[in-house]
Amino acid sequence: RDMLDYQDAGTVAAVLGNGRRTSAHDTVPFALWSAARSLGNFEEAFWLTAQAGGDVDTTCAIVGGVVAAGTAGAPPAAWLAQTEEPPGWLVPARH
């Protein structure tokens, strides 16, 4: 809880870890801190997470899932417009 007062992702990553050791205890705490700092803004959460380095694809995936599940919703429309079509065998989720 004390880490929420810190603004700098690099400082927090140095204390909590950022996935460099590829283990849950070195990845999840930082990802949750990053998501908590930017729950209402998907793009801000993504870049805050990425700037800390480490296992960036994993930490950004965790943060993206947490933030997208909240009020921020999906990634920015401009980002989605630049993605590839999913493969034909993928069945879309039903809402």
User: 């429309």: which residue's tokens?
Assistant: 77
pLDDT bucket at 26, cuts 50 / 70 / 90? confident
Contact 81, 88 (CB under 8 A): no
Looking up tokens 């959460």, which residue turns up?
45
Q: Is 6 inside a domain boundary?
A: yes
In a domain, 93, yes or no: no
Q: Is the pLDDT at 3 greater than 80, yes or no?
A: no
From first CA to last CA, the distance across the chain in angstroms is: 34
Position 83 in a domain: no
**Number of neighbours of residue 44 by Cβ within 10 angstroms:** 15
Residue 21 lies in a domain: yes
In a domain, 15, yes or no: yes
Residue 1: predicted pLDDT = 58
Q: Which two tokens mark 45?
A: 């959460």
User: Is the whole model's pTM more than 0.85, yes or no?
Assistant: no
State the pLDDT at residue 8. Answer: 75
More confident residue, 36 or 72: 36
Domain annotation covers residue 86? no
What b/e sequence results for 24-39 when a residue is b if at least 16 CB atoms lie within 10 Å of its CB, and e otherwise?
Answer: eebbbbbbbbbbebbe
Counting the structural domains of the chain, the total is 1
Range of the domain at 68: 2-77
Give domain status of residue 89, yes or no. no
